[in-house]
Amino acid sequence: MQSNRFPLIMIGVISFTIAAIAMMPARVAYRIFSPAKSNIQLHQIKGTIWSGQANRLYAMKHSFSNIQWQLQPLDLLLGAMTLDLQINDSNYPLKGTISRGFGGTLQANNLKATLPASLIQQAPYASFLGLSGTLRLDIPKLAANEDELKSVEGNVRLINGQISAPLQGNIGNLNFQLSTNQNGVLIKITDQQAPIGINGTVRLKPQKKFNFNASFTPRANADAFLVTMLKNAGQPQTDGSLLIKYDGRY
């Protein structure tokens, strides 16, 4: 008799546990599971683990307000944590689905966002670059691990870009078209009437290798210092542009 009741008891215990987790306040779960020195911090949390909100998010050395999320519980059975995330910040809104597998792979789908351009410094291949301005992202698909972009499809626009390191100058508006092929990630760069015209590519290859190939065309309003730097680094072409090629690692 007892053996027949045991499965029912286990089902009851499991059901109670799932219900308790589902109804656990998000602020309690955050205190329990968030590392003490996490780079991501939430403040004034409301709701549950599955559906919640926070007044403020601190991440990547920036602050964002009015965060909402929906956790997709079925994906946990497939070994991933998936969030439908929305940030209703007046300056930097974001909307998309973010998923992280237990193996560490980060995926994003249907990501649309406006972000500060200085976030680029958080990428391992751009930590040396001081950049200000605004980034506008339209990324249908992205996959990355902690230090390498694995695949991506979409578009990124830089609005009113300004460089402060390793040199200084105005670079204006640029467009980055992102795609993936068998050789890695391809980034096509074009300008939108920027002070210095640019037409080129960056290829992010396996084993953290990259190739940069671009022609630059200074215009009348180009920063004189940037033009001098380009002339020192580039090869003059018959059409007046300056060609720069570089292979390296990041």
Average of pLDDT values for 68-94? 86
pLDDT band at 83 (very low <50, low <70, confident <90, very high): confident
Dig out the tokens for 209 from the structure: 């290798």
Residue 219 has a pLDDT of 93
207 vs 245, residue with greater confidence: 245
pLDDT beyond 50 at 6: no
Q: What is the 3-state secondary structure (H, E, C) of the chain?
A: CHHHHHHHHHHHHHHHHHHHHHHCEHHHHHHHHCCCCCCCEEEEEEEECCEEEEEEEEECCEEEEEEEEEECHHHHCCCEEEEEEEECCCCCCEEEEEEEECCCCEEEEEEEEEEEHHHHHHCCCCCCCEEEEEEEEEEEEEEECCCCEEEEEEEEEEEEEEEEECCCEEEEEEEEEEEEECCEEEEEEEECCCCEEEEEEEEEEHHHEEEEEEEEEECCCCCHHHHHHHHHHCEECCCCCEEEEEEEEC
Quote the pLDDT of residue 72. 83
Of 243, 138, 142, 149, the closest CA to residue 203 belongs to: 149
Assess whether pLDDT exceeds 60 at residue 3.
no
Domain assignments of the chain as residue spans, ordered by start: 1-100, 105-250
73 compared with 141, residue with greater pLDDT: 141
| Tokens 């249908």 belong to residue | 140
The least confident of 12-26, 99-113, 142-156 is: 12-26
Of 169 and 250, the structure prediction assigns the larger pLDDT to: 169
Q: What percent of the chain has pLDDT over 70?
A: 82
The dihedrals phi and psi of 65, each to the nearest 5 degrees, come to -115, 160
How large is the average pLDDT for residues 23-36?
57
Q: What percentage of the chain exceeds 90 in pLDDT?
A: 45
* Reported confidence tier of residue 2, pLDDT bands at 50, 70, 90: very low
Mean model confidence pLDDT for the chain: 83
Least confident stretch, 91-95, 149-153, 196-200:
149-153
Q: What is the mean pLDDT of residues 75-81?
A: 74
Sign of CA dihedral 200, 140, 120, 117: positive
Give the mean model confidence (pLDDT) for residues 225-233: 90
Convert the pLDDT of each residue in 131-187 to its tens digit.
Answer: 899 999 999 999 988 777 889 999 999 999 998 877 788 999 999 999 998 888 999
Burial class (CB in 10 A: 0-12, 13-18, 19+), 98: middle
- In the predicted model, is pLDDT for residue 32 greater than 80? no
Instruction: Give 114-137 pLDDT, tens digit per residue.
Output: 999 998 887 766 777 788 999 999
36 pLDDT higher than 60:
no
